[in-house]
Amino acid sequence: MKPKEFEYLIDAINSLPSIGGKVAEKIAYFLINQDEKYLCEFINRIKQAKLKIKYCEQCNNFSYEKLCPICLNNERDNKKLLIVNNINELNKIEATGVFDGIYFVLNDEINVKTKKNINEKIIKKLVLLCKKKIFNEIIIATNFTINGEATNIFIKKLLSQILPNAIFYKLAIGLPINSALDYADDITLKAAIKNKIKV
Ligand SMILES: [Zn+2]
């Protein structure tokens, strides 16, 4: 029999994204075997992160100030907008160095099954940003899933009413670098042929 406190701990760990039952139990065992100092430091880091880290008022990126360093950077191209799902994706794209415009983090997507739309506050913030900046290039980088596609269509429709002259893009679907054609699934292969590039 496991003490109920231990079960509660597993439940809490299980609520974290990408953690399944076995892993949750393993982490729970690990944690209760650590000393007081380790656990206090661990809990303190979570508390400090929650307390100190805010979100950028313009793009929803992490920020200590009202605006994040990307939004504050005058050298960025203010006419280009890249809409991403989450901060993790923003950082990934930013690390590639290929995009020099500004971002907007959605932190939400349409759920086709439950008919849940994107949070109204987020939509308002995005609309306000587009009215203020008048972008001429907008890349909507939502997921390649049914929900992601629905979100993409919704955002494009919404923003093209505000910015009728802007050019809208979505990310190209294609084959991963260093991959063999043999292993590509049908949808990816079809998209890769459709998105062929001139050599
Ligand atoms: Zn920002």
Cα(66)–Cα(58) distance, rounded to whole angstroms? 8
pTM of the full structure: 0.79
What's the CATH number for 4-52? 1.10.8.420
Ligand 1 centroid to Cα of residue 76, in Å, is: 12
Ligand 1 centroid to Cα of residue 98, in Å, is: 18
Ligand 1 centroid to Cα of residue 127, in Å, is: 15
Ligand 1 centroid to Cα of residue 166, in Å, is: 21
Tell me the pLDDT tens digit for each residue of 128-187: 999 999 999 999 999 889 999 999 999 999 999 999 999 999 988 888 877 778 888 888
Domain residue extents for the chain: 4-52, 71-170
Ligand 1 centroid to Cα of residue 178, in Å, is: 34
Ligand 1 centroid to Cα of residue 165, in Å, is: 24
Ligand 1 centroid to Cα of residue 5, in Å, is: 41
Q: Is the pLDDT of residue 1 over 90?
A: no
Half-sphere exposure of 153 (CA within 13 A, CB side): 11
Ligand 1 centroid to Cα of residue 65, in Å, is: 10
Tell me the pLDDT tens digit for each residue of 160-176: 999 999 999 998 888 88
Strands 102-105 and 80-84: parallel
Ligand 1 centroid to Cα of residue 117, in Å, is: 23
CATH fold for the domain made of 71-170: Dna Topoisomerase Vi A Subunit; Chain: A, domain 2 (3.40.1360)
Tell me the pLDDT tens digit for each residue of 31-73: 999 999 999 999 999 999 999 889 999 999 999 999 999 999 9
Ligand 1 centroid to Cα of residue 55, in Å, is: 8
